[in-house]
Structure 1
Amino acid sequence: MTDLFGIKIIWSLGFILFAILIRIIIINSLKKIQTKFGFQKSRILVTNKIITILIYSTIIVLIAFLWGVDQKQLLVYISSFLTVLGIAFFAQWSILSNITAGLILFINYPVKIGDTITVLEKDNNVTGQIKDIGAFFITLKTPEKELITMPNSVILQKNIKYFPQPD
C-alpha cells in the first residue's frame, strides 16, 4: 500500500516537472517568435498566460486521474465549465460576454494596442488610441488626452474605423 502511495507521489512530481519543462520551452519559443516576427510584447505575455493555464489544467487532470478521481465526476465538472463558457459566447451584456469579447479582440481582431480607432455610433463617434485590451474593457486615449473605457462586447458589436500604427 505504501509502495503504491510512493509511486503516485513520484509520478505526480514527474508530471509537475514535465509541465514546468514544457512551459519553459514554449516561453523560450514564443520569445524567439516575438523577435523574428515582431509581435508585441503584450500579446506574447497574454499568450504565455493562456498556454500556462492550459498546461497546468492538463497536468491537474492527469494527476487527478492518477490519484483515482472518478472520470464521470471529472467529466461532469468539465462539461459544466464548457457550458458556462458556451453561454458566455452567446450572452449579450453579461460579464462573461465581456471576457469572451476581450479574448476575441485580443486574438482575432484587426486592431491591436497602439492603433487608433473610431467607434462609429449614431450620435457621437469616439476616437482614440488603444492603450489596453483588458478582460472586461478596452481603454482608449482620445486626442484630448482623456482615457475612455468601453466594454469589450460593445467594441465587437459596433462598426469600427481603424488606423493601424505604422510598422
Structure 2
Amino acid sequence: MSERIPRIMQLLPDWAEPWLEVIELGLQITLIAFGAWVLNVLFRRLIRRLGASYSLPAELMMGARRVIGLVIYAGATLLILDRFGVSGTVLWTAFTGFAAVAAVAFFAAWSVLSNIFCTLLIFTTRPFRLHDHVELLESGDKLGLKGQVVDINLIYTTLREEADGQVLQVPNNLFFQRVVRRFRSAPSRTGVSPDTAASADGR
C-alpha cells in the first residue's frame, strides 16, 4: 500500500499533492454515506414487499422504516467519526450509554411494544379479521368481551357490542392471553349464533 501512494502522487497534478489525505478522507466519507443510502433503500424495498405480502398496516411499516433508517445512519455516522480520528473508546462509551438508555426506555414502554408486536401477529396469523364477530372468554365457558371487530390499530382492537352498539377498545396482547371464540355470523344476545338457533328450530 505504501508503494502505491507515490505512484498515485505521480499521476496527480502538483497542486493536488498536498491535498491527497483530504481527498482520500473525502472519498472514504462519500463511500460510507453512499453505502448507508444503498442499505436504507434495500431495507425500504424489503419492508414494502413484506407489507404487501402480509397486508401490514401503514403505521407499522412507517415505524419500521424509521427505526432501520436511524440504525443505518447512526452506524454510518460512527464510521465517519472514526475516520476523523475520534477515539474508539469514546465511540464505545457513547454507544453503551445510548444502549443503556434505550434498554430503560424499552422496559418502560414494554406494554406498548407488546401490543405492537401482537398487532403484527394478528395480521400474520389471522386469528380473526376485520368485521368478524369474536368473544374473549374469561375462563372456560364464562362470558367475556364480545362484539364485532370494527377496527384494528397498533395498540387496540375495537369491538362493537351487539346489544347496545357501544364500542370496546381491547388491548391487542389480550387476544393472546385468553381464549378467543370466533363466530361465522353475528351471535344473538343469548350467546347462541343464528345458524345454531335455526337448526334447533328445524328439529
TM-score relative to the length of structure 2: 0.53
1:150 matched residue in structure 2: 170
Distance in 1, Cα, partners of 2:136 & 2:113: 19
Larger Rg: 2
Distance in 1, Cα, partners of 2:130 & 2:180: 15
* Runs of 4+ residues deviating >6 angstroms: none
What CA RMSD, in Å, does the superposition of the two structures yield over aligned residues?
3.8
**Alignment-mate amino acid for residue 114 of structure 2:** A
Distance in 1, Cα, partners of 2:180 & 2:116: 17
Q: Is residue 2:67 matched to residue 1:47? A: no
Distance in 2, Cα, partners of 1:20 & 1:163: 48
Distance in 1, Cα, partners of 2:26 & 2:167: 53
Name the SS of the counterpart of 1:126 in structure 2: strand
CA drift of 1:124 comes to 3.6
Give the conservation status (yes or no) of the 8 Å contact 2:48–2:61: no
Q: Is residue 2:156 matched to residue 1:137? A: yes
The one of the two structures with greater contact order (alpha-carbon pairs below 8 A, sep at least 6) is 1
CA drift of 1:75 comes to 1.1
TM-score relative to the length of structure 1: 0.62
1:118 matched residue in structure 2: 135
CA drift of 1:74 comes to 1.4
Distance in 2, Cα, partners of 1:33 & 1:54: 14
1:24 corresponds to which of 41, 62, 67: 41
Distance in 2, Cα, partners of 1:8 & 1:161: 62
Deviations 1:11-44 (A, max 9, x none): 2x65454444333333334444555x4x2152x6
> Which sections of structure 2, spanning at least 5 residues, go unmatched?
1-18, 185-203
Name the SS of the counterpart of 2:72 in structure 1: helix
Percent identity reads 8
Give the conservation status (yes or no) of the 8 Å contact 1:131–1:141: no
Distance in 1, Cα, partners of 2:41 & 2:55: 19
1:103 matched residue in structure 2: 116
Name the SS of the counterpart of 1:70 in structure 2: helix
